[in-house]
Amino acid sequence: MFNSIASKGAIAVLGLVSVAGGVAAAVAPHADAAASPSAASCTVVTIHKGSTGALVKTLQSRLGGLTADGVFGNLTLAKVKAFQKSHGLTADGVVGPKTWTALGGFPCSNGGSNTTVVTKQVASGIDFLSVRTGPGTGYARVAKLSPGTKVTGIINGGWMKITSGGYAGKYVAASYLIDVPKVGPKPPTSNVHGWIATTGGITATVRSGPGFNYGVLGHKASGAAVSGTQVNADWVKIAGGYINRGEIETTSSSLTRVNAQIPVSQLCAVNGAYNSPNSFDPGYTVNTTRYINCSAGRALDSLQAAYKAKFGHYANIDLAYRDWAEQQYWYNKLGPAQANKPGTSNHGMGLAVDFQEWHGHTTEFDWGGVGSNWLRANGGKYGFTQPYAYGTTGESYHFNFTG
C-alpha cells in the first residue's frame, strides 16, 4: 500500500490523506509513485523553468549544447521542449519522471554520494513528515515528525539518512526539510512608539497573541499612532492586542519622508532562491538582490517554505522594496492606474511583494492561477494579504505585508 511522504490537511500527497484524529486513509496513488523498495531508491524530483541547483546542472549536461550553470532559464526550457518532442513526450518543458527516464534516469545521488552531515527542520504547511526504514515511499513508515522538528543527517537523492537521535539510520524526504532559522539573542523588552507604516488605505492587523496563528481582533489605520512593548523580534503588545513590528514606523509620523528612502542597511535581503528567472527593466536579473522589511522577510521565508512543500518550488518574486528612483520609473511607465507616486507605495516601506508577472499569458500568479489562488487562501497565515477583489483590473500578483 502506498504511504505519504508528508501530509497536509485533507490533501492527497503521494497516496494518503490525513483525516480526523490523525488516521490516514488510502487513496489512488500518483502514477509515478514508487510501488516498493525495489522499484526506486529515491524520489524523482520534478524541475522546471525557474529551478536552480545541481539537478539543473545535471539536466543541462545531459541535454548538451548548454552552459551547465544550474539555472533553468529560457535556453534550457527550449532544449527540454525540443528533447521531449523528439522522444514522443509532451513538450511542456517540465522535467518529470518520464523525461528523466528518457534522459537516462533520475540521478538519485546526482553524480556522487554526499557525505556532509547537516541539520534541517521540517517545513511548516504540512501535518507531518514520515520517517521511513529506507529512502523511498515503498519503505515502512515508523514515525511522524511535526513541523519545526529538527533532524540531522546526510542528504542523497532526495532523502536524508538520519545520523543521530532516536531515528538514526531511518530516512525522511529532503524536499520537506528547510534550513534551521538563524536565531539571534532575544532582544530585551523595550517600549515602542510609532505610526502604522502601511499606505494607500491598507490597514495593519491586530492579533490576539504574538504570532500569525493567533486570531484577528481588528485593524489599525495607516498612519495611526501606536505604543506598546516589544515582546520579541517581530511582535509588539499594544492596548487591545498584538501587532507585527514590521508594521510600525518609528522615525517620523510623516510617512512620505520615509517611504522609498529607507537605507538597504535597515532592510533584509530576500532569499535569492525566490527571484524571478526573468530579466526586466529597470535592470533586474535573476541575480539582482531584492530587499524587504526584516519582519516581513522572516514571514516570507515561512510562506515560501509552505509554498514549496505544496508545489515543489518557491513562489518566484519580481519586486519587493522600491526606492524613490525606481518608484518614479514605474510611475512614469505605468501611470497612476498601476503605480503609486513615489513616497506613497507600500513597496517603498518594504511591505509589499510582487510575485512573478507575465502579461498576456496564463501563469501561476494571474487571476485563477494556482499560485494566486493559493496565496489568496493561505497568505494571511503568514501576514500577507491581497488588496484587490478577484478578477478585477488590480494586480493579481501583488500582496501587502499587513501582519
In single-letter form, the type of residue at position 265 comes to S
Is 186 a domain residue? no
Is 32 a domain residue? no
Residue 38 CB neighbour total at 10 angstroms: 9
Q: The whole model's pTM is what? A: 0.55
94 and 166 assigned to the same domain: no
123 and 244 assigned to the same domain: no
> Which region among 2-16, 282-296, 372-386 has the lowest average model confidence (pLDDT)?
2-16
How confident is the model over 321-347, as a mean pLDDT?
A: 84
Is 318 a domain residue? yes
Owning domain of residue 199: 191-257
Last residue in a domain, options 202, 237, 257: 257
How confident is the model over 164-183, as a mean pLDDT?
A: 84
Give, in order, the Cα–Cα distances in Å from 276 to each of 52, 289, 373, 382, 385. 11, 11, 19, 21, 20
161 and 210 assigned to the same domain: no
Residue with more model confidence, 41 or 17: 41
Which CATH number belongs to the domain containing residue 77 in this structure?
1.10.101.10
How confident is the model over 355-364, as a mean pLDDT?
A: 70
Percent of the chain with pLDDT over 70: 84
Is 225 a domain residue? yes
Which CATH number belongs to the domain containing residue 385 in this structure?
3.30.1380.10
88 and 172 assigned to the same domain: no
143 and 231 assigned to the same domain: no
61 and 135 assigned to the same domain: no
Last residue in a domain, options 257, 280, 314: 257
Specify the pLDDT at position 154.
Answer: 86
Q: Is residue 145 packed enough to be buried (19+ CB in 10 Å), middle (13-18) or exposed (0-12)?
A: buried
Q: Are 306 and 378 in contact (CB under 8 A)?
A: yes
How confident is the model over 362-371, as a mean pLDDT?
A: 83
Question: pLDDT-derived band of residue 186, with 50, 70 and 90 as boundaries?
Answer: low
296 and 221 assigned to the same domain: no
Is 12 a domain residue? no
- Cα–Cα dist 383/402, whole Å: 6
275 and 374 assigned to the same domain: yes
Specify the pLDDT at position 136.
Answer: 77
Number of separate helices (H) and strands (E) present in the chain: 6, 23
Is 15 a domain residue? no
How confident is the model over 61-85, as a mean pLDDT?
A: 90
Q: Does residue 25 register a pLDDT over 60? A: no
396 and 280 assigned to the same domain: yes
- Cα–Cα dist 214/211, whole Å: 6
284 and 372 assigned to the same domain: yes
Q: Which long-range contacts (C-beta less than 8 Å, at least 24 apart) are formed by 338-341?
A: 338/395, 340/199, 340/200
How confident is the model over 151-179, as a mean pLDDT?
A: 86
> Grid coordinates in use for 312?
515543489
Give, in order, the Cα–Cα distances in Å from 278 to each of 75, 263, 288, 335. 12, 26, 11, 23
227-229-235 Cα angle (round to 5): 100
Question: pLDDT-derived band of residue 113, with 50, 70 and 90 as boundaries?
Answer: low
Last residue in a domain, options 257, 291, 312: 257
Q: Does residue 29 register a pLDDT over 50? A: no
Is 4 a domain residue? no
Q: What is the CA radius of gyration of the chain?
A: 23
253 and 275 assigned to the same domain: no
Instruction: Report how many domains make up the chain.
Output: 4
Is 299 a domain residue? yes
> Grid coordinates in use for 13?
500527497
> Which region among 129-133, 215-219, 335-339 has the lowest average model confidence (pLDDT)?
335-339
Closest by CA to 37, choosing from 81, 2, 74, is 2
Which CATH number belongs to the domain containing residue 215 in this structure?
2.30.30.40
390 and 339 assigned to the same domain: yes
Q: Does residue 74 register a pLDDT over 90? A: yes
